[in-house]
Chains A and B, each alone.
Chain A
Amino acid sequence: MLSRVLASLLCLLGAAAIALGVASATVWRSSDTLAATASASGYLVTDPGVLDLAADEVTVTASATGPVTIALGRTADVEAWVGEDEATRVTGLATLTELTTEAGQGVSATSSPTATDAPSESATDTASATESPEPTDSATESADPSATESADASATESGDDAASGEDGEAAFADPSGSDLWLTEATGDGRATMTWERTDGRWSVLVAAASGDDVALTLTWPQEVTTPWLRPGVAGGSVLLVLGIAWWALILVRSRRAVAGVGAAGWFGHARDVLGSGRPSRAPSPTEGTTSVATAAESAAVPPVAFSAGRRAALSAVSASDTSVAPGATAGGLEQPPAAAGEPGPAEATGPRPSTAAQPTEILHVSADGAPMTRRQLRELREREERERAELAAADRHGRRPRPEPEPEPAATPGAPQGTGPAADTAGPQPGAVEWPRVGTVRMPERTASSPETTARVWPATAFGRAAGSDQAAPDQAVPDRAVPDRAVSDRAVPARAVPARAVPETPVPEAVTGRDTSDQAELDREAARTGLRRALDRAMRRKPATPPVAWSPLEASGETPEVPELPEPPAASSPSADAWRRAWGLPGTAPGANHDQGEEKR
């Protein structure tokens, strides 16, 4: 009991860690921009360095009632332009949303000399203009106006500057259009500009054309890190998996313990799991109650089966042939029970629940995103075959008497109970009722979400095929797919490959044993992980002799017999060269002449 609590706690902790990790990167993720605002009347000037305060890229937004201008230029130029006028300097960040400002006058001294220069110059201008070129006035009537005009213009300009310096806002100038600005943006009520950090000292000058209040917003993109996402999810996943594994272990143990009392066994248990899992989609209270009645664990199992990853699904699934159905290759695995089902009525119901269970399983596998590996499928199939044989044998005596006490004692009493009710009450009826429902409900869902073309494609897909087979009589539909053949041919592939590649005098045993041990080790590991050791043990015992692997003989031949025969000096390179040649359809390892030819061709 304590271990169950601990295992659940572990799962909970894991889930919580994942949730927190994800939340830290989503809900609690800090804003990816930093936007700070300042407002003032008149000119608003940023200090150098403010633009790239928080990031290399900044978006400058200015708003005012009426035309507003953002002008960007070198700080010295901006300050010179402002000159003696009053301007509000933006000096930095006060908070994450506010800029600090400082009222300043005559931001820089650089402009003052020119300001004082200009009047004196223009004064001399006008003086010399009247004085020098034209002693005789009549001569330059037409030239005169221009001379005085330009002098006047500069005089008034500089006069303006001086006046604005003294009177503050008396003369407010619009910064737009000056040649000083690298870029500028003008808008009515609002202007925006983006700026990327550039070497040097740069500032923006913001002003409303009217000189009224203007608001400046600097927005920097922020690099938001999510330091807790990965550790949270990774750690949480580990905890969750551990918890689930613990649960699986607990279940396996308890099954063993209960075996004598008449537990459901693998088969029945899995059905319970599936049966009680199904109500969540299409409620069938009868099933739920039966499953609870049959196995004590079943109440606890469904969440595991549904929430857990593929291993949990496996533990549930591996017992039931049904789960295998979804995939195209897996579909073939349905066949044996169907074929075996022919002889007796018991068998006829047998496959039914299996197909009835399919939809849930399909969801399972697809939801987990972890299709079963080929080995798992193989194991399942082998167990099926064995069970089928048992069933076939048992048929003559009655409903699954289960003569073998050997690997699955739980199955003996469990089978009649588990499959019996499931087949009689839950199995066929809900299955028959549900199937069309599930099929019709789900198919439209998918098709609705996908364009018509894919809707037409659907029947060809695995899901469509499964649905199609469900609508048809399972017995009929199944044999059509002679998948076992395919499976067999699959396995035959390496065998076929052997003569093509391998050198005849391959020392087979080495390769076989090598592979066998590795296989066994892998199986062991898997068994240890899944807690299905016994089932796997059985599966392995029945496993047919593994055919030699295609590539291992090659390696072996490269080491032993070939080397002395090869005339070519580089013994190490010959196997690879050989393989290369074969790959290109050139004559294989052979006398030096051939070899040379091959090289020449190359």
Chain B
Amino acid sequence: MKRRTALVLALVPLLGACAAPLPVPEPEAVPAVAPAALESVQVDRVLTDLHAVLDDADAAGVAAAGAEDPGAARTAAVDTLGARAYGPAEQIRQAQYLLAATTGADALTTIPSGAQTVVDPATTTWPRVLMVVTDPSEDLQAPLLLTLVQEDPRSAYKLWAWERLFGGVELPATTLPGVGSDPVPADGGTATLTPEETIDQYVDVIAHGTESEYFDGFTDTPLQQRIAEQRSAWSAAVGQGTFTETYQPLDTGPWALATADGGAIVVGGFGGLTTLTLADSTLKVADPATTTLLGKDTITKNLNLAWTVTVAFSVPPAGSTDPVTVLGAEYALVAASGE
């Protein structure tokens, strides 16, 4: 009996040794700093898919002019586009599909597929913002700054806006895409201005020009000059009538990512509404885009024009006395109506 017990006692640890302990998961600790939200392969995939969708939608949008029901065809094109674009980008593109009826594919802004810079967000929350600087397009147009936004975990990164970069501007240094750039909340960040302040103040500058108290806070740009030119042209044309302009930031955005030095790249947009009221006169509209959107070239009573403008800023880090650099903008007439 004693012997058997001894035998069992000797065997038990042997048997125990035979069964290796099951491995246990050893997860890494949750990182203190959020990793880049997108690996480069994911960025590539997103951009590839974006361009695939753009190509499809653009082809449909341009072809819509010849369709039996151009309106429905255009709507279908916009629906297609909706998979990868929303907000001002979708609006502007939709208007361009309309313009394509008269001017063809030239009406569409070329969005080059090559990316020379990727600013990847480092975050675990939503919405997430991805910024991409494209290569210069084939027709030597300026490179575009694309802003893609993922609103929530289950939606895709959608193109929110593109801006043509002005000649001579330099994009502020950002951290490598593998590391990721911190997202800047609309009302926060370490730059001299929060993104919301930036867009609000710039709208003020656009609306009031040199009279704006923020005029010196931004670099002068071709955008301001163009808006000023338009303004003077319309006010001259309206003669005895009235001419009003209102500008208001868009409801979505602004989006911002931190730069390496603590500043921010802010992308925002605003809508402009130009209202002309004629007094006992007719006005012949020369601008092809306006006439196309309007559907006629002569107005007798009034004219309402809706603009969508998207702007990219480089806001210097807190403590800097430099003005906010306007990196680029896209300015498009998206709707026109009048009698």
Interface presence of B41 (CB below 8 A): yes
Interface presence of B16 (CB below 8 A): no
Residues of chain A with a CB closer than 8 A to B37's CB: 77
Given contacts A157-B152, A179-B45, A200-B31, contact A124 B251 (CB under 8 A): yes
Interface presence of A182 (CB below 8 A): yes
Complex: chain A residue closest to B29, CB-CB: A201
Given contacts A136-B275, A140-B335, A142-B98, contact A92 B304 (CB under 8 A): no
Interface presence of B26 (CB below 8 A): yes
Residues of chain B with a CB closer than 8 A to A96's CB: 22
Count of A-B contacts judged by CB separation below 8 Å: 149
Interface presence of B207 (CB below 8 A): no
Residues of chain A with a CB closer than 8 A to B24's CB: 53, 92-93
Contact across chains for A93 and B27 when beta carbons are under 8 A apart:
no
Bound form: Cα–Cα A304–B168 in Å: 93
Contact with B along A173-188 (1 / 0, CB 8 A): 1000111111100000
Residues of chain A with a CB closer than 8 A to B91's CB: 143, 146-147
Least Cβ distance of A97 to chain B in Å?
Answer: 11
Complex: chain A residue closest to B271, CB-CB: A133
Contact across chains for A133 and B28 when beta carbons are under 8 A apart:
no
Contact across chains for A74 and B22 when beta carbons are under 8 A apart:
no
Given contacts A132-B248, A136-B275, A142-B335, contact A93 B155 (CB under 8 A): no
For window 132-150 of chain A, which residues contact chain B by CB distance below 8 Å?
A: 132-136, 138-147, 149-150
Bound form: Cα–Cα A177–B82 in Å: 15
Residues of chain B with a CB closer than 8 A to A76's CB: 30, 124
Given contacts A48-B28, A146-B90, contact A139 B124 (CB under 8 A): no
From the candidates A142, A150, A178, A201, name the one contacting B82 in the complex (CB within 8 A): A150
Interface presence of A305 (CB below 8 A): no
Contact across chains for B23 and A53 when beta carbons are under 8 A apart:
yes
A76, A92, A110, A157 interface centre (most CB from chain B within 10 Å): A76
Contact across chains for B82 and A139 when beta carbons are under 8 A apart:
no
Range for the number of chain B residues in contact with chain A: 35 or more
Contact with A along B76-93 (1 / 0, CB 8 A): 001000100011001100
Interface presence of B150 (CB below 8 A): yes
Least Cβ distance of B118 to chain A in Å?
Answer: 14
Least Cβ distance of B132 to chain A in Å?
Answer: 14
Least Cβ distance of B303 to chain A in Å?
Answer: 9
Contact across chains for A178 and B156 when beta carbons are under 8 A apart:
yes
Residues of chain B with a CB closer than 8 A to A149's CB: 78, 82
Residues of chain B with a CB closer than 8 A to A49's CB: 25-28
From the candidates B28, B95, B150, B305, name the one contacting A201 in the complex (CB within 8 A): B28
Interface presence of B35 (CB below 8 A): yes
Interface presence of B3 (CB below 8 A): no
Contact across chains for B23 and A139 when beta carbons are under 8 A apart:
no
Complex: chain B residue closest to A203, CB-CB: B27
Contact across chains for A146 and B94 when beta carbons are under 8 A apart:
yes
Given contacts A80-B126, A110-B125, A118-B151, contact A134 B273 (CB under 8 A): yes
For window 255-295 of chain B, which residues contact chain A by CB distance below 8 Å?
A: 271, 273, 275, 293
Given contacts A146-B90, A201-B27, contact A139 B306 (CB under 8 A): yes
Least Cβ distance of B280 to chain A in Å?
Answer: 21
From the candidates A47, A135, A153, name the one contacting B27 in the complex (CB within 8 A): A47
Given contacts A124-B251, A125-B251, A143-B306, contact A93 B82 (CB under 8 A): no
Least Cβ distance of A69 to chain B in Å?
Answer: 14
Interface presence of B111 (CB below 8 A): no
Least Cβ distance of B33 to chain A in Å?
Answer: 12
Contact across chains for B306 and A140 when beta carbons are under 8 A apart:
yes
Contact across chains for A142 and B95 when beta carbons are under 8 A apart:
yes
Residues of chain A with a CB closer than 8 A to B124's CB: 74, 76-77, 80, 110
Least Cβ distance of B337 to chain A in Å?
Answer: 4
Residues of chain A with a CB closer than 8 A to B45's CB: 179
Residues of chain B with a CB closer than 8 A to A48's CB: 25, 27-28
Can you sample 17 A-B contacts with CB below 8 Å?
Answer: A74-B35, A80-B124, A92-B24, A114-B127, A114-B152, A118-B151, A133-B273, A133-B306, A138-B337, A139-B335, A140-B304, A143-B334, A146-B90, A179-B46, A179-B150, A180-B153, A200-B31
**Interchain residue pairs A-B with the least CB separation, the first 6:** A49-B27, A139-B304, A49-B25, A48-B27, A143-B335, A80-B153
Give 17 A-B pairs besides A157-B152, A157-B155, A179-B46 with Cβ atoms closer than 8 angstroms. A48-B27, A49-B28, A50-B27, A77-B124, A80-B124, A96-B22, A125-B251, A136-B337, A139-B275, A139-B337, A140-B334, A141-B335, A141-B337, A143-B306, A149-B78, A150-B82, A154-B86
